[in-house]
Amino acid sequence: MTQEWMRSVQMGARVFLGIIVVLSSILIVSPRAQMFTGSLFFGRIPALYHLPLAQMWYTMAAHPYFGQEVPPYAFHHLSRTYFIQGDFAQALRYGYQELSMYPNHFTSHYIIGLTYGYMDMPQHAIYAFGQYLVWHPDSWAARNDRAWIQFQIGDIAGAIDTMMPAVTLYPDNPWVANTFCVLLLNQKEYASARASCERAKASARAYTSDTWGEAYPGNDPRLYEEGLARMRGSIESNLALLRELGY
User: Which segments of the chain belong to CATH 1.25.40.10?
Assistant: 72-244
The structure's pTM equals 0.86
User: What pLDDT score was predicted for residue 67?
Assistant: 77
User: What pLDDT score was predicted for residue 114?
Assistant: 98
| C-alpha closest to that of 126 among 80, 88, 161, 82 | 161
Contact (Cβ atoms closer than 8 angstroms) between residue 79 and residue 108: yes
User: What pLDDT score was predicted for residue 17?
Assistant: 41
Q: How far apart are CA 232 and CA 247, in angstroms?
A: 19
- Neighbouring C-beta atoms of residue 50, cutoff 10 Å: 13
Tens-binned pLDDT, residue by residue, of the chain (247 aa): 465 655 565 455 444 544 544 454 455 678 888 898 899 899 999 988 999 999 999 999 999 887 788 999 999 999 999 999 999 999 999 999 999 999 999 999 999 999 999 999 999 999 999 999 999 999 999 999 999 999 999 999 999 999 999 999 999 999 999 999 999 999 999 999 999 999 999 999 999 999 999 999 899 999 999 999 999 999 999 999 999 999 9
| C-alpha closest to that of 62 among 86, 81, 34, 27 | 34
Burial category of 1 from C-beta neighbours within 10 Å (exposed 0-12, middle 13-18, buried 19 and up):
exposed
User: What pLDDT score was predicted for residue 55?
Assistant: 96
User: What pLDDT score was predicted for residue 59?
Assistant: 95
- Fold topology of 72-244: 1.25.40
- Neighbouring C-beta atoms of residue 198, cutoff 10 Å: 15
